[in-house]
Amino acid sequence: MLDQSLTALMAPHGAEARRMFDGTCFMVNGNLMIGTHKDGLIVRIGAEAVEQGQALGARPMLMAGRPMKGWVSVAAPEDLTLWIDLAMAFNRTLPRKAAKRRSRKA
């Protein structure tokens, strides 16, 4: 259900969906910004906004027991657009990444 809702809300942003972290993650301008995870939602909001995210109910995102700088995890997001807006605000500060070429093996 969370995957479907997020997919619909990310479509107007031109997001590209990818299967990652046992969920669906969304890339905008080549940068990973938000996605689903077994524990709920993961959101890249930047290190400067982590306190704001925690005040809104998020916790630092852990990967292999270590916090990922600039990322938060939201167990049961009530307002997906709030988290998308925070992620998009940070995403706009990042340079666009060129599409990676996939190598072909003979």
Taking only the tens place, the pLDDT of each residue in 44-94 is 999 999 999 999 999 999 888 899 999 999 998 889 999 999 999 999 999
Identify the pLDDT of residue 53. Answer: 95
CATH 3.40.50 for domain 2-91:
no
Identify the pLDDT of residue 43. Answer: 96
Q: How far apart are CA 66 and CA 55, in angstroms?
A: 20
What is the Cα 6 distance to its own chain's centre? Answer: 10
Long-range contacts of 14-20 (CB under 8 A, 24+ apart): none
Helix pair 2-10, 80-91: axis angle to 10 deg: 50
Q: What is the mean pLDDT of residues 32-40?
A: 90
The whole-chain average pLDDT of the chain stands at 90
User: How many CB atoms are closer than 10 A to CB 80?
Assistant: 18
| Residue 2 clears pLDDT 60, i.e. is over it | yes
